[in-house]
Every structure is written in structure tokens, then in C-alpha cells.
Amino acid sequence: MINVEELPKVRGAYRQNADLAKTTWFATGGLAEILFRPEDAEDLSQFIQQLPREVPYKVIGVGSNLLVRDGGLSGVVIRLGRAFTEMRVEANELYAGAAVSDLNLANFAMSNGLGGAEFLVGVPGLIGGGVFMNCGCYGGEIAQIISYIMVIDERGDVKKISRDEIDFQYRTSNLPNNWIIIGAGFNLTPESPEVIKAKMDEISKQRQLAQPIKEKTGGSTFKNPEGYRAWELIDKVGLRGHKLGGAMVSPLHCNFLINLGNAKSADIENLGELIRAKVKDKFDVDLEWEIKIIGNK
């Protein structure tokens, strides 16, 4: 049990027993023992420097690709706010804070006549999480446009990490879990805003037709195994529209799980594990979760 009085003195705000179901797209999950909203990067850096090493911490964004278990999260949950939403352009390089949404970055790039980030209009979530997991869709991914990232490491030091130092793979990277991304630079290409907008509109149209974007969902549930599409495997084992507790496999897109309104995180996780077992049994293929599952059962 953490006593707030024993945590570092900060300019930001602490809150005990924060309901994480209110912050995730699935609208499920337990409580954060402590929720910390730093005032700015300096406040966050000093917090990490002074935090007792035995106290765990975890950064979460808007919870678009996240399942928090019903037992909640022990330790400190960090959420980055307004101070981490800066965007600016220097030549053909665009900088965005970690709390900038992927959609806002795509629109900002368009308004400045910079192409290459159009795919981000189809990615829910924030830049920090998107960089960490190498988000992507419709043929684009963060690894293709990243120039550098700004991080606070486990000692609280602010570092600039170049693209060459990062090993990006499909929906993952080698960035340490205890590093906090606070911003990133992107190499983009001059392009007509009209051309960029047309590309973004087409991606948005395809997404609206193919994905249950108005439901309580967490985005793509599983990574596509090499040589397969996850949704096709799920469909072929007969689980399109399958329900378990308050959770359901989307009838529109089988690689999306939906909270029908009264689901527990356990319902969603158990439905995902049922899918994995069925696909393994029929096709001998291991589906790997793309959604990040954290917390106590």
C-alpha cells in the first residue's frame, strides 16, 4: 500500500484509487493505486529521480490499445497531459509531444504540407504509445517516418535517441519498458495539402466501413501471424459474433473484441484466450496479443 506522503513532492497532481475504466476504450478495468499527472517534463524527470526504486510505475495514454485487468494496477500510473502536446515544424521535420493524438499529428502535418503521416489518421491513440509499439495501418508504420525520440530513462535523465538506435519490428520495438517517451521527431516529405487530405479521407473511409469504430473496443486484438491474417483465422474457426459474458467478437471485423456494455476485463481476456486456443487447435498457429494486457487479475 502506497502512502502519497511518501512519494516525491511534485508540481503535478496525485490521485488515489483512480478508476481506469473511465480512461480506456474498452471501458473496463480496476483502479490505479496512485494516478500521477506531471506538470511538465521537468516535473516528471524529478519524480522518477526521487521515486523509491521498489515502487513500480507505468505510463498509459488514452487506453486505445490497452486492457487493464479487473484487479487494477499497483504502484503509480502516469498520464501525460497538456505540457506534452506541443507540435512544431522545423524544415521537413515535425516534432510532436507524446500526448499528441495520432489524428492530430496527421492533421498538423497536412496543414503544414508535409506528407508521410497520413496513415496515422487510421490509428487510435497517442504518439507515445504509437512509437513504443510501432503502430501502423494501411501500409504505413511509425518506423518508416521516425527520426528520433525524447525519453526519460529509469534514472530520470532526459535523452534523445536516434532512429538508428531503435530496433523496430512488427508492432513492437526494443525500447525498455521503464523508459517514458515524452516526444518524437518525424521525417516527412513536402506534399500538397490537397493530396494529403485525399489520402487521409480514403483511409478514414476504409476504416469506417471495415472496423467497429463506434463500439467499446481496443483496436486490433492480435498481430497478424506471418503468412496469415488474424481476422481470417478467427472467422474460419467460427467465432465471428461469438459472445462470452459481456464481450463479443465483432461481427464486422473478427480481429476486434467489443464490450457490449457490461463486460469485465476478464470477459474480454478470456474471449481472446478462447480465440487463441481454437486457432492453435485448428491451424497450429499461435496468435499473439497486439492489445497490451496489464494489471492484477
Residues catalogued as catalytic: 171, 220, 290
User: Alpha carbon 183 to chain centroid distance?
Assistant: 14
Please give the Cα distance from 230 to 225 (Å, whole number).
7
DSSP helix/strand/coil, 28: coil
Tell me the C-alpha distance between 152 and 158, whole Å.
5
**In this structure, what are the phi and psi dihedrals at residue 133, rounded to the nearest 5 degrees?**
-100, 5
What is the distance between the alpha carbons of residues 118 and 195, in angstroms, rounded to a whole number? 10
Helices 193-210 and 102-111: angle between axes, nearest 10 degrees: 150
With vertex at residue 14, the alpha carbon angle to CA 9 and CA 16, rounded to the nearest 5 degrees, is 130
Rounded (5°) CA angle 219-68-99: 65
Phi, psi of 63 (to 5 degrees): 70, 30
Could you give the count of Cα atoms lying within 13 Å of 163 in the half-sphere of its Cβ?
A: 11
Measured distance CA(143)–CA(136) in Å, rounded? 9
Q: Which three cell numbers stand for residue 252?
A: 464486422
